[in-house]
Amino acid sequence: METTKKKRVVLKVGSNTLTRETNYISRGKIEDMARQIASLKDTYEFIVVSSGAIAAARQFVDLESNGKEIKVKQALAAIGQLHLMRIYQENFRELGLLVSQCLLTYSDFRSEESRKNIINTVNTLLEHDYIPVINENDTVATDEIKFGDNDKLAALTAALLQADLLIIATNTNGLYTRESMQQGIPETIAEVNDLQTILREIEDKKSSHGTGGMRSKIDAVEIAANAGIETWIVNGLKDEFLLDIISGKGGYTRFPAGVK
């Protein structure tokens, strides 16, 4: 009997989502994600690109004497990554889900040998029902800490692994029109078919706990679009946000594959 091929989804979750906009990682949010992935696992396979290592560390240590220094943030990432993965493992395991950790740097995507290794490793994990949880290796790389966000990492991952869909979970209901933001009544842009036009609509503000903003998400969309991958920007703070958007509920912004 022929089995139906699962739809491959790269799910990027930012620090604001994982902390529920607090200073600490929310076990409830990670449990919420696990429940949804468990409900969808028969038809979807998930690759999670997760921020939150530095936020996780802050629950256990105080290295904030000069928290803006790259070396301090790298130390926090080294401490927090272990705690973050433990929270993932504990919550996912309770629902019968297995997780694995993959730490990458942007330079890995420039090396043909590294690219092949990433593809082979992630495909093998998925074949054996392990959910890859990917983060940038912040202890040796500073790109994400200094300049961007895991949005770009998620898009590069989606492109490399030929995902069917990239979902970027953030703390808004997708992109809002500039006019609605100015009026204080945010209105979600349901679908974007012109990236240049949309750049004039967004407010390029960084999030309170993450390092990116909507501009970094548009950059990620462009990477995914060039690889023929559809992208959704969704509100990950909502409970069951994956189940809602996949079933057609809830406001979010859709970028069709190939949008320019």
> Is the per-residue pLDDT at 3 higher than 70?
no
Structural domain contains residue 68: yes
The range of the structural domain enclosing residue 183 comes to 7-255
Structural domain contains residue 81: yes
Q: How many domains does the chain have?
A: 1
The reported pTM is: 0.91
CATH number of the domain to which 178 belongs = 3.40.1160.10
Structural domain contains residue 11: yes
Q: Which residues pair with 168 in a beta bridge?
A: 12, 233
The mean pLDDT of 191-200, rounded to a whole number, is 87
- What would the pLDDT profile of 68-79 be if each residue is shown by its tens digit? 577 888 888 889
Per DSSP, the three-state class of 195 is: helix
Structural domain contains residue 111: yes
Q: Burial-class residue 128 by CB neighbours within 10 Å (0-12, 13-18, 19+).
A: exposed
Structural domain contains residue 260: no
Are 33 and 242 in contact, with CB atoms under 8 Å apart? yes
DSSP 13-78: E-HHHHTTTSSS--HHHHHHHHHHHHHHTTTEEEEEEE--HHHHHTTT---GGGTTSHHHHHHHHH
Structural domain contains residue 2: no
Mean pLDDT over each residue of the chain, to the nearest integer: 87
Structural domain contains residue 143: yes
**pLDDT band for position 64 (cuts 50, 70, 90):** low
Structural domain contains residue 1: no
